[in-house]
Amino acid sequence: MTTVGILGGGQLARMLALSGAPLGLRFQVLDPSAEACAGQVAPLVVGDYGDRAVLDELASRVDVATFDFENVPADAARHLATVVDVRPNPAALAAAQDRLSEKTLFRQIGIPVPAFQDVASREGLDAAVASVGTPCILKTRRLGYDGKGQFRIRTAGDVDAAWQALGAQAGLVGLILEAFVPFERELSVVAVRARDGEFRTWPLTWNWHVDGVLSASLAPAPGIEPGLAAAAASHARRLAEALDYVGVFALELFCRDGELLANEMAPRVHNSGHWTIEGAQTSQFENHLRAVLGLPLGATDAIGHACMLNWIGEMPDPAPVLREAGGHWHDYGKQARPGRKVGHATVRADTPESLAGALERIGAALGRQAQVAPVLEALGGASLS
């Protein structure tokens, strides 16, 4: 019997545990909150990531450890790694936790990035804005996610407000200023690397965000030239090899004028890969477990076309999704709260036209036409079974 330890007990840990059950795996999840939703499907240890006794106790019960949350302190992962295999390795986790070191690494290994500057002071911000230009975005280097810890600077007149909003963070988690990219699309490549170096990517995913939070994903992203898909896969492979990465990760990319610019990597299974549960031969969750355990990887081909809709703040009525032949429902068992990811739906279909038809019906029935509209547009306004 193999037991996998997971640092972080959110929906990603929950979906990892659910996908590991058919493989005969057991899990131990560590989270500071007794309410962590993975605890509904796997044994939960409630404790602080920084508590060495808790980490040692977890290590004694598991064969390998991984995480569902990139802001788990890298020190906790390093400590755990002295006792048990930790995959991906703690250095990869640490690299991805800091936007500055992450973007510096991207640049070093030839992955194009938007212009960026480290910002350590108010004067430094002025100099960075002069160098990067406007519009630009001031972000915290660490502990930001889902658009949190960001301030958009449209003109030089916004610099004071940006410093007021985030300046206090400069000495705590550091700041980075990035050029604003007027992208045509946001894409992500979800990839997996095995212990023996085998590397696979799922088809590119097209993502739409609202207020910095993922709202919808469509895969395979339609209208992608083969060269672009190959470039994305090659960027991901270089990154995985540079970090000696084992497991699943996502590389988020802006696409502009046929060029890709990297935004960030997530060193874990990723929201833009949730469609793979029903829409691919092997899901990101199963392949992550296969990779960390040294099992053969599964095929990553898409099965038809899939759209994932995120439910933020509250769960809608499931019936319109469940009525669709390819409709799948995921309720994370979390308490509803504004801005919180509480669930998602994936709609899978054999053709873009039938996917569009199902999304139209779901959008209308749930009053979520705005959420499905960009997906329908991307599907070519395909009409409608």
Number of residues near ligand AMP (by CB under 6 A): 14
Stretch that binds ligand AMP, among 29-37, 144-152, 285-293, 373-381 (CB under 6 A): 144-152
Nearer to ligand AMP, 93 or 362 (CB): 93
For residues 270 and 190, the answer to whether their CB atoms sit within 8 Å is yes
Nearest-10 crossing angle of helices 11-20, 284-293: 70
Query: CA-CA distance, 82 to 231, in Å (whole number)?
Result: 36
Cα dihedral 143→8→102→86 (10° resolution): 150
Give the residue closest to ligand AMP by C-beta. Answer: 181
Nearer to ligand AMP, 263 or 300 (CB): 263
Binding status of residue 256 toward ligand AMP by CB under 6 A: no
Shortest distance, position 181 Cβ to ligand AMP, whole Å: 4
Shortest distance, position 186 Cβ to ligand AMP, whole Å: 6
Query: CA-CA distance, 277 to 347, in Å (whole number)?
Result: 11
Query: Of residues 124, 147, 333, 374, which one binds ligand AMP by CB under 6 A?
Result: 147
Nearer to ligand AMP, 85 or 264 (CB): 264
277 CB neighbour count, 10 Å cutoff: 22
The residues facing 206 across adjacent strands are 187, 218
Q: What does 227-276 look like in DSSP terms, one character per residue?
A: HHHHHHHHHHHHHHHHTT--EEEEEEEEEETTEEEEEEEESS--GGGTTH
Query: Of residues 140, 169, 263, 283, which one binds ligand AMP by CB under 6 A?
Result: 263
Binding mask 212-231 vs ligand AMP (x if CB under 6 A, - otherwise)?
A: x-------------------
List binders of ligand AMP among 160-179 (CB under 6 A).
178
Strand-strand pairing, 64-67 and 85-86: parallel
- The amino acid at residue 4 is V
- The amino acid at residue 143 is L
Query: CA-CA distance, 307 to 284, in Å (whole number)?
Result: 15
Shortest distance, position 136 Cβ to ligand AMP, whole Å: 8
Shortest distance, position 232 Cβ to ligand AMP, whole Å: 16
Shortest distance, position 134 Cβ to ligand AMP, whole Å: 12
Query: Of residues 186, 286, 324, 360, which one binds ligand AMP by CB under 6 A?
Result: 186
- The amino acid at residue 343 is G
Nearer to ligand AMP, 147 or 333 (CB): 147
Structure tokens at 205: 């995913």
Shortest distance, position 138 Cβ to ligand AMP, whole Å: 10
- Interface ranges with ligand AMP (CB under 6 A): 114, 137, 144-145, 147, 178, 180-181, 186, 209, 212, 252, 263-264
